[in-house]
């Protein structure tokens, strides 16, 4: 297994636009919207948490308030 790449800083070449584009978590059962600075990328998709990126292997949710994506 490989570890997920956590985005902690923006690449130098990536200019900050007016507002950060928010992306929905790629997990089908997840309704979270994730900002690029907090996104976890796996296989070219964007997830809100490592639990979502993993497909909730232990029935663990993303932990975001109001989201029940682990069920
Ligand atoms: Zn979620
Ligand atoms: Zn998610």
Distance 57 CA to ligand 1 centre (A): 14
β-strand partners of 46: 41
For residue range 24-41, what is the model confidence (pLDDT) as tens digits?
A: 999 999 999 999 888 999
3 C-alpha to ligand 1 centroid (Å): 20
Q: What per-residue string of b and e applies to 27-65 under the rule 16 or more CB within 10 Å gives b? A: beebebebeeeebbebeeebbbbebbbbebeeeebbebe
Give the Å distance between the CA of 52 and the centre of ligand 1: 7
Taking only the tens place, the pLDDT of each residue in 7-27 is: 666 566 655 555 668 899 999
Which ligand number lies closest to the CA of residue 26?
A: 2
**Ligand whose nearest atom lies closest to the CA of 51:** 2
The count of C-alpha atoms lying within 13 angstroms of the C-alpha of 45, restricted to the half-sphere facing its C-beta, is: 15
Selected residue with higher pLDDT from 10 and 46:
46
Token output for 71: 């069920």
């Amino acid at each position: 297994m490989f570890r997920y790449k956590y985005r902690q800083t923006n690449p130098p070449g990536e200019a900050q636009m007016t507002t950060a584009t928010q992306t929905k978590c790629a997990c089908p059962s997840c309704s979270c919207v994730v900002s690029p600075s907090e996104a976890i990328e796996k296989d070219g998709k964007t997830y809100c948490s490592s639990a979502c990126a993993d497909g909730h292997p232990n029935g663990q949710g993303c932990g975001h308030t109001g989201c029940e994506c682990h069920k």
